[in-house]
C-alpha cells in the first residue's frame, strides 16, 4: 500500500521550519550579543564604547595588513620561483 504524497515531504518541511527558526533566532540574537560583549569589554577596560570599536577596527586592519604581507612572501608560487632561481644559480 502506498503512503499519501503529503507524508513524503514531511522531514524536509520540518527541516525548513527548524532552519527558519534558527535563522530568526540568530538574526535577532547575534547583534545583541555583539553589543553586549562590546559594552562589557568597554566597562572592563574603562573605555568608551566608541573607542573600543575604533581600536578593534584598527587592530583588524593591522592584522589584515600583516597577514597580507606574510602571505605574499610565503606564497607557494613565489617560493617555487625563488627556489628555482636559487637552484639555477647553484649550477
Are residues 28 and 54 both part of a single domain? no
- In this prediction the pTM is 0.47
Are residues 58 and 83 both part of a single domain?
yes
- Do residues 66 and 39 both lie within one domain? no
- Dihedral over alpha carbons 58, 60, 61, 64 (to 10 degrees): 160
pLDDT tens digits, one per residue of 3-12: 555 555 555 6
Pairwise CA distance, residues 38 & 75, whole Å: 35
Pair (42, 71) in one structural domain: no
Cell 521550519, located at residue: 17
- Rounded CA separation 74/55 (Å): 28
* Residues 21-28, mean pLDDT to the nearest whole number: 82
- At CB < 8 A and 24+ separation, what contacts does 34-41 make? none
> Domain range holding 22?
7-46
Amino acid at each position: 500500500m502506498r503512503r499519501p504524497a503529503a507524508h513524503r515531504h514531511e522531514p524536509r518541511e520540518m527541516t525548513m521550519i527548524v532552519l527558519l527558526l534558527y535563522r530568526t533566532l540568530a538574526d535577532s540574537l547575534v547583534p545583541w550579543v555583539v553589543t553586549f560583549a562590546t559594552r562589557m569589554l568597554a566597562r572592563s577596560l574603562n573605555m568608551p564604547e566608541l573607542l573600543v570599536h575604533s581600536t578593534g577596527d584598527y587592530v583588524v586592519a593591522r592584522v589584515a595588513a600583516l597577514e597580507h604581507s606574510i602571505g605574499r612572501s610565503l606564497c607557494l608560487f613565489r617560493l617555487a620561483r625563488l627556489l628555482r632561481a636559487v637552484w639555477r644559480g647553484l649550477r
